[in-house]
Each structure stands twice: as structure tokens, then as C-alpha cells.
Structure 1
């Protein structure tokens, strides 16, 4: 018998149809622990549900995930509603979750605690960020429902306590899907207008679902960023919303919010009158004190004989006048002396006087030079005659005038008999001329 083999794809499609056709798997209610949860921003979420003995893959599409009012965390026990199907690409079966909430704790409360912790870590609830209320507000903005009891209580209280303040209602939804967005928009609108002294944000009591609009991050951040001081009056005294925590002041009831926003006009007027009376009494006492001082001073000797006030100044002025004149005289004398000294110095440095002195010096130097030159010439002339006489004494001509002569041969002086030969022509140089002769005989004295 021939067997029909199925492809993996065919078998997977068959099993997928079995899963989807099973009415028990179309809507399954499960409880389990979140595992392998890695949040992905603005996307589908993939994780697991497990208990002590089994684990199941889970998928939560973006649309369903964005409706959650809490943030799933690793290890959190949850209750989920979804359908079981098979993912053909991997052959794994998994649950596609349509709804999820914490097991044992309400989803809204879980979301409240998570957002509260996150904003607290960010510092939005710190006292250092809170603004003081204006003591005497002129305009008060109220963000609440126009039909609720809140606005009536606030109007009644303000009218009773401080009727000169102007109340401006910014109507808004206080619960529902669009309420938080509208509340935040009204808060920002009030800040954009900018001429309000105080803002009251509130509504009546209710469940956590009813008050949820005041627990959203959008509203909390709008209150935190408000430049106008905010009084929060949401729910009753036992209800605490995140808006209460971030607001500058929290009031237990709308009436309490109005009482915090405005003083009692009658009491303020009484205080003004009391301060007015205190000011009047203080001014009156000051006037009495000043008048008494005036009367006392007007009877003093100085006022009766005012010339005595400046007698001492007259004496002081005379002394200063004498000192001034003496100082001027001394200064003038000192300046005259300095002028005389400077004039003498200037005369010494006068160019005409210097030229005259230099001319005299030049005449003196010329005379000295002439005398020196004459003396030098006389000395040189004397030395010349002495040298000439000495030279004359050493002159061969002087010796030749006494009968001496010298012999030359071819213009060379004959110093020895060996310098000539027989028949050589030699010249006898005498004092008044030359004698040409021929050597006829040579005799040696035997010394050579």
C-alpha cells in the first residue's frame, strides 16, 4: 500500500487549523508568571508565561499593550485573556494576549504605584519644587467640571470669604478616556494666558477608576510645569492622587481648597484697621516726641543767642586766615629764591656766554699752539744743525779735503790689492774730481 508523506508546511497548517477551530482555545483565561520580558517601545511584546512545571510563549500586539494601565515586570504574576494558536514559521504554539492585569492587585493600583515611584525618583514630588501661594489673589482659575458640586463649593466659599477675587472656570471632563488630555490642556492654557494668581484643580470623590484622570503622567507633568501655583482638591481626604502629590498645595475638599486660596476679607480689613490704628498711634507718639524736642531746643541758649554758634568759627577763621597769609608769604619767598637760583643756572648755560668763553679758550689755545710750534721749529732746527755737524764730521768728503782719496774700479771701491791687476784702469776719487790711471805695479804688505 502506497503511503502519502506530508510536507512540514502541510502538517503545520493542519495543526494550526486544529488550534483555531477548537472552541476551548479561542478564548483562554490563564494565570502565570511573566518571564523573559524585555519591553520594546511602540512595538509588539514577546515574552513567556510560566509556572512551576511549564512555560508558554506569549505575544501581545501593540494595540492591546498600549491599553495596559500598568507596566509588566519580570516575575510578576498576571491574569491574561487570549487565544491559543500555532506560529507556522517555528512550529511553536503560543498565546496571543488580548487583556492582562496583575494577579491579586488591581491593574490601576499597580499602574499608580509604578508611575508614582518613577516620578518620585525623577524628583517631581520634592518640596523644593513647590511654589508659595499668593496671599491676596486677584484672579483664580478653576479646572473642574462645570456641572459638579466642586465649582459650586468653591464659588460659595470664595464669595463668602473674599468676594473681591475673580473666579474663572475652565470647564473640563474629570473622568473618562479623554479627561486627562483635556485637564492637561486646560492647565497649559491657564499658564499661556498668564494673568492668574492661583489655580485650583479638582473634582469630587470616587473610586480609583473615577479618579484615574488625575493619576496620568500627562496631567502630573502639566501641574509640575505650571508657573501658576496649583491647589489640588481631588476626591476626599482619604483619596490621594498623583496630582495631589505634585501640586504646590493639597486640599482635602473643594471648600478647603478655596479657603487655602483666599483669606477672609473681613479679617483682613480688621487687620488693616488695627495696623492703621497702630500706625496712627506710632505717628502721634513720634509727633509728640519731636514736638517736645523742638520746644526744648527752642529754649536753648543757641537759639536765643545764635551768634554764639559761630563765634568759635570766627576765631578758627581768623587763625586759618593768618596761617594762609603766612603760608603764602613763605611760599612766595621760597619760589623767589628758587627763581633766582634757576636764573643764575640759566645765565651759566646762556649760549652767548658759552660762545664768548669758548672764543677766549680758542684764542688761548691758538696762542699756545703758535708758541709750541715756534718752539718746536727752533728745537728741530737746533737738532738739524747738530746732526749736520755730526754728519759732516763723519763725511768722507771732509776727510778727502785733507788729501785723502778712494780708488774705484768699474764703479766698485777697491779695498784690496787682490781687487786689481797690472794694466787695470782704475779711478782715483779726490775732493775736487777724478783721476784716471793705469796700474803699473802691485805691492802687498804681506798681511794677506
Structure 2
């Protein structure tokens, strides 16, 4: 024996037997290939059949799921329209609120309020001037009328018409009973005054 005899997997008695062992028989090889081909074909057919059954089941499930999917698609579309409508309504409301706030801000703007105050003050000043002019005209007319009436009853006007006023001790004399013969009296004229002595009294 040699080391090769101990490490070899298969032992052959002769070189011819070893050659036959190393080289497979053609018939056996063809039979083995045919058997493997049949097994592979059977396995492929089995896999194809299983996939057909699986695809058929998937198709049946899809057929049953299509109405439900259509329902959910319609529901999603309806919800989307509702969401869009509510969002647009909300945006319109917010735009309206923003416009109101902007108007309020302009109303409370100091510059705008100052401008309104100036315009109002100018109108009040103009009204006050007109009222003062009317009041002055009215009072001036009343003053002129009173002055005219006063001139009518004024002693000066009487004196200017040629009359005189007699006074005794700064008292106006209206009767001869108020004086005596020899009394000194003052006679006021329109221009100047006279000091006279009473000689007679009727």
C-alpha cells in the first residue's frame, strides 16, 4: 500500500477499473440528465401552476376590492371638495377680518385723526367767525338803535335844538316854586353855561 491508497475516496483494483470509475457511463449519464430534466420540468410546472393560482387569487381579490376602492375614492374626492370649500370660506373670512382690522387701524391712525381734528377745528373756527360777525352786526345794530333813541331823549339834543336847562345847586329846576327872588341859578346851553340871578318869578 501507498499513502495514495489511504487518502483516496474510492479504490480500484486495476487501472481499467479506475478509468471506468473516473469516466461515467454515457448511458447512465444520459439517464441521469433525463431524470434531472424531468424533475426540473415538474418543478417548473409546479411553480408556474402555483403562480397562476396566486395570480388568480389576486385577481379575484382585486375584483372584490374594486367597488370598495371606488367607494373610498369617491369619499376621498368628496372630502377633498369639502376641505377646499371650507378652506376657501375660511380664507374669505380671514380676508374680510383683515380688511376690517386695516380700516380700524386707519381710523385710529394718529395722522388720520389729527387731520380730521384739524379739519373739524377749521370748520369750528369758521363757524365761530361767522357767529361772531353776526353777533357783532346784531349788537352794533342794537347799539345804533339805542344810540338813536338816546339821542332823541338826551338833554344835549334838546339843547342843540335851542332849549336850555336851569339848575340850582346841581338840581334841575322844573317849577318857579323851587326858586326865590335873588337866587343864583345856572343855565346850561348847547355851548357853554350862564350864571343868572332871579329877578322875577311868575
TM-score by length of 2: 0.58
Q: Tell me how far apart the structure 2 counterparts of residues 323 and 403 of structure 1 sit (CA, whole Å).
A: 109
Q: TM-score, with normalisation over the residues of structure 1?
A: 0.28
Question: Structure 1 pair 319/440, CA: closer, same or farther in 2 (3 Å)?
Answer: closer
1:360 aligns with 2:119: yes
1 CA distance for matches of 2:76 and 2:146? 98
Distance change (3 Å), C-alpha of 1:319 and 1:428: closer
Matched, 1:397 2:153: no
Pair 1:308-2:65 in alignment: yes
Match of 1:417? 176
1:330 aligned to 89, 100, 114, which one?
Answer: 89
* CA distance in structure 2 between the partners assigned to 1:329 and 1:397 by the alignment: 93
Unpaired runs of at least 5, structure 1: 1-300, 444-448
Q: Equivalent residue for 1:437? A: 196
Question: Which protein has the bigger helix share?
Answer: 2
Matched residues in 1 for 2:193 and 2:81: separation? 117
**CA distance, structure 2, for counterparts of residue 323 and residue 437 of structure 1:** 120
Flag structure 2 segments of 5+ consecutive residues without an equivalent.
Answer: 1-56
In 2 relative to 1, CA 335–406 (structure 1 residues): closer, same or farther, beyond 3 Å? Answer: same
Instruction: Give 1 or 2 for the bigger CA radius of gyration.
Output: 2
1:369 corresponds to 2:125: no
* C-alpha distance in structure 2 between counterparts of 1:325 and 1:400, whole Å: 104
* Secondary structure class of the residue paired with 2:163: coil
Count of residues paired in the alignment: 142
Aligned-residue Cα RMSD (Å) equals 2.8
User: Using the alignment, how far apart are the partners of 2:190 and 2:81 within structure 1?
Assistant: 112
Q: Which has the higher strand share?
A: 1
Give me the whole-angstrom Cα distance separating, in 2, the residues matched to 1:330 and 1:438.
113
> After TM superposition, what 4+ stretches of structure 1 lie above 4 angstroms from structure 2?
none
Please give the alpha-carbon distance, in whole angstroms, between the structure 1 residues aligned to 2:162 and 2:99: 89
Partners in 1 of 2:134 and 2:96 — Cα distance? 52
Q: How does 1:189-200 map to 2 (within 5 A)?
A: none
